[in-house]
């Protein structure tokens, strides 16, 4: 790779990191319009439910707090990014303290991402999939594969379930 290509690669990697950080910030702050702009027009979120397209994504994310899940905070780490031109894939680990039915919970999992550079030059999610390692009230503790929040069972991380069942 020549110097220009190497610099472009570093800029792309940085932009992808910013995309992932903005996702957590916008989601936690309830900035729904900005959040859905992080997805391609036909982008999808897969996890507790599946939403595809910006209108469905906006409805899904904004309605999350209408049920038993009252508050959440997303902390991501351990990023991997595989970059191939205008397409990127990778995983990010998730630590998520939250409140379910007025009780503090802790959840952890991983995001598996497929991202694309769009015509405007911005990186966006084609698909962001979340799976959980566990989701439990803080009062009872946690263990791998333990899901005390029923909605999280549908998004159980298959590798964790296989490893600890």
Reported as a single tens digit per residue, the pLDDT across 24-42 is 999 999 999 999 999 999 9
Residues 6+ apart with CB under 8 A from 123: 12, 15, 16, 19, 88, 115, 116, 117
Domain 3-164 = CATH 3.40.50.300: no
pTM: 0.94
Q: How confident is the model at residue 105, as a pLDDT?
A: 97
Q: How confident is the model at residue 72, as a pLDDT?
A: 96
Asked if pLDDT for residue 65 goes beyond 90, the answer is: no
Q: Where are the domains of the chain?
A: 3-164
Over residues 1-16, the mean pLDDT reads 96
66 pLDDT tier (thresholds 50, 70, 90): confident
Question: Considering only CA atoms, which of 130, 137, 138 is closest in space to residue 112?
Answer: 130
Helix (H, G, I), strand (E, B) or coil at 44: strand
């Amino acid at each position: 790779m020549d110097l220009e290509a190497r610099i472009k690669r570093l800029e792309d990697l940085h932009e992808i990191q910013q995309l992932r950080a903005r996702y957590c910030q916008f989601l936690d702050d309830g900035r729904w319009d900005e959040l859905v702009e992080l997805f391609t027009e036909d982008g999808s979120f897969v996890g507790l439910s599946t939403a595809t397209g910006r209108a469905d994504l906006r409805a899904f994310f904004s309605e999350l707090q209408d049920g038993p899940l009252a508050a959440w905070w997303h902390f991501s780490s351990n990023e991997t990014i595989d970059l191939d031109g205008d397409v990127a894939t990778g995983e990010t680990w998730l630590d998520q303290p939250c409140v379910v039915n007025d009780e503090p919970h802790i959840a952890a999992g991983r995001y598996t991402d497929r991202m694309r550079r769009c015509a405007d030059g911005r990186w966006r999610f084609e698909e962001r999939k979340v799976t959980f390692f566990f989701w439990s009230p803080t009062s009872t503790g946690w263990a791998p594969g333990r899901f005390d929040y029923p909605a999280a069972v549908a998004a159980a991380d298959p590798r964790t379930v296989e490893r600890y069942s």
